Amino acid sequence: MVKEDLRPTLVYCRESRDENSINYQRIEVQRDILLAFCHRRGLTNIVDVIMDDDCTGTDFHRFDEIVRRVARKEIQVIVFKDASRLGRNLKESLIFRDFMAEQGAELLFESEEYNEDFFPLKAWFNEQRAKEDSLKIRRVLRHKMETGELLVKPVYGYRRAGRCTMVPREETAKIVRWLYEEAAKGRGSGELAAQLNAMGVPTPSQAAGNLHATSCWNTQHIRRILTDPVYVGTMVHHRSARKSFKDPKTVRTPEQDWIIHRDHHAPLVSQELFEKVQALRRRFQRDRYTRKERPFSGLLRCGRCGSALVLRKRKDRPDVYICGKNHREGAVKDEIRPDYGCRPHRVRQDLLYEASIGYVKDLLEDSHINVGELARRVSGSGGLNRKEELEGKLASVERDMDAVYEDRLRGIIPEGLFVRKCAELSAREGELRKQLQEYCEKIQKKPPKEQLTDLQMGDIINRLDAQGLTKEQLRLVFECVVVFEPGEIREEDRERLKLSRESYGRIQAEGGLVFLEQARRLVDP
């Protein structure tokens, strides 16, 4: 009789629908096989059964919650059908295996014995299988692109007609034609988006019947339509591609590699009109802002609707930030929709900059703030701190591991050297992660206040006056800055933002800025 094993056990099932074409095994069958296996092994304490259906084996983010549960000792055994169900990514498989060993947890495979020495080799073969499948799929997709088959949903203005083409959908095609005609007259994207919203025209995602459709037109919708050659009958494939079969991120492919089919379908606008609109757009295209020129982007929030403020550059006038919703939709119009539009909430960038530097100076003189730590962060003194140094070393080790795996995949290094280097780098990675965790825990427990002399404080403030604040420094000090116009701040806002009655009354009467501080995390206990 099998001895009962009361260790908390997790049964993990995974099935990828790209495998075995349509003759795939039902994931429920896999679950039943693993539960029977646990019964035979005496594993009676099944705490969970996870079924990742139609899930790729190269993505290991699916194990994030499992890793946390193992670290909390809620799971001590994980059962898989075989090593390929664990995953088809060599690097991540070895990291997961080492983590389980560190936590004293066990991996069990139903159809094969787990062997610590041969596991890296099995993981490598499983990764090769994923690579081969990816290459096959890419070849099939490229063949379909070259034959002109329609691989994506029809764009706004069209509907599908068979496998390879699409035809105009008149109720949306007339909107596309109208946009091109109006753009040819010199009207801008924001103006066109505002008029479509005022007319109550459904957005592209609403017209497509998407579940989480956007409710308002914006400048991005207009730009996409006015720059897409699909509206002159040209279909362009392969503009972007995944970086690798293990990385879901996409990169833009060189234009010479695009697959272009001219006269692929019926055009909605003429080539002459399309080129005229492109020429007008190039003529009136605004200069792009650099990161240095817009340090407050993403930091400002509208007090009325919560939207991020966007920078508007104006010729011969100071640059201002305005409410993003007002920029997209225009002024408040309750007759269109209760939540339509917003007020401008204009804030001049130069005045905002002066206010922020003044606020930081006040923080540096605040007796309740760990001014030493804040000053080092804001002034940039002391170079990289220990946390940044460890993170940099960790990133370097991860790059080295990727290089080793790529060398092995190309056959540059032998298997024995590959396994040894993997073990060394994994050990180094584990040590760095441990040091980083210990440092973060130490910082959280670190007492106190660190006073600065008046001379040191003066040097830091003088540096702020001379050099200003960068985007990164602003985010070290502030969580966000909320902008209110007169009369719109509410009592619940006062409580949420922890404002005094005096400040609340002044903002209610005159409008103003509310700085929410990251720096308060440095407050002494």
212 by Cβ neighbours in 10 Å (0-12 / 13-18 / 19+) ranks as exposed
pLDDT in tens, 8-29: 999 999 887 544 444 345 788 8
- Are 42 and 108 a contacting pair, CB within 8 Å? no
Angle at the Cα of 224 from the Cα atoms of 222 and 228, rounded to 5 degrees: 125
pLDDT at res. 409: 67
pLDDT at res. 456: 45
Same domain flag for 118 and 212:
no
Report the 10 Å Cβ neighbour count for 75. 21
DSSP designation for 47: E
Q: Show the low-confidence residues of the chain (pLDDT under 70).
A: 1, 17-25, 243-248, 284-294, 361, 363-386, 407, 409-413, 442-473, 475-476, 518-525
pLDDT at res. 164: 73
Same domain flag for 296 and 263:
no
Report the C-alpha gap between 249 and 503 in whole angstroms: 46
pLDDT at res. 470: 66
CA dihedral 445, 449, 452, 453 (to 10 degrees): -140
pLDDT at res. 20: 40
User: Which residues share a beta bridge with 251?
Assistant: 241
Domain count, the chain: 4
Tell me whether residue 486 is in a domain: yes
Same domain flag for 459 and 524:
yes
Instruction: Residue 422: give the domain boundaries.
Output: 384-447
Tell me whether residue 15 is in a domain: yes
User: In CATH, what number is assigned to the domain containing residue 209?
Assistant: 3.90.1750.20
Tell me whether residue 2 is in a domain: no
- Judging by DSSP bridges, how do beta strands 106-109 and 77-80 pair with one another? parallel
Final residue of a domain: which of 139, 164, 196?
139
Tell me whether residue 68 is in a domain: yes
Closest CA to 156 of 148, 166, 165: 166
Tell me whether residue 517 is in a domain: yes
pLDDT in tens, 437-472: 877 776 555 444 444 444 444 554 555 554 556 666
Tell me whether residue 329 is in a domain: yes
pLDDT at res. 444: 59
Same domain flag for 332 and 391:
no
pLDDT at res. 75: 93
Same domain flag for 461 and 315:
yes
Tell me whether residue 271 is in a domain: yes
Same domain flag for 192 and 261:
yes
Please state the pTM of the whole predicted model.
0.46
Same domain flag for 153 and 163:
yes
Final residue of a domain: which of 119, 139, 159?
139
pLDDT at res. 520: 46
Same domain flag for 186 and 58:
no
Question: Which residues, 6+ apart, have CB-to-CB distance to 215 below 8 Å?
Answer: 203, 206, 337
Tokens 């003429």 locate to 270
DSSP designation for 203: P
412 by Cβ neighbours in 10 Å (0-12 / 13-18 / 19+) ranks as exposed
Final residue of a domain: which of 233, 266, 283?
283
Same domain flag for 278 and 290:
no
Same domain flag for 439 and 462:
no
Same domain flag for 296 and 318:
yes
Report the C-alpha gap between 210 and 207 in whole angstroms: 8
DSSP designation for 224: H
Same domain flag for 469 and 366:
yes
End-to-end CA distance of the chain: 59
Tell me whether residue 312 is in a domain: yes
Closest CA to 270 of 236, 235, 233: 233
How many residues are given for the chain? Answer: 525
Report the 10 Å Cβ neighbour count for 242. 13
User: In CATH, what number is assigned to the domain containing residue 109?
Assistant: 3.40.50.1390
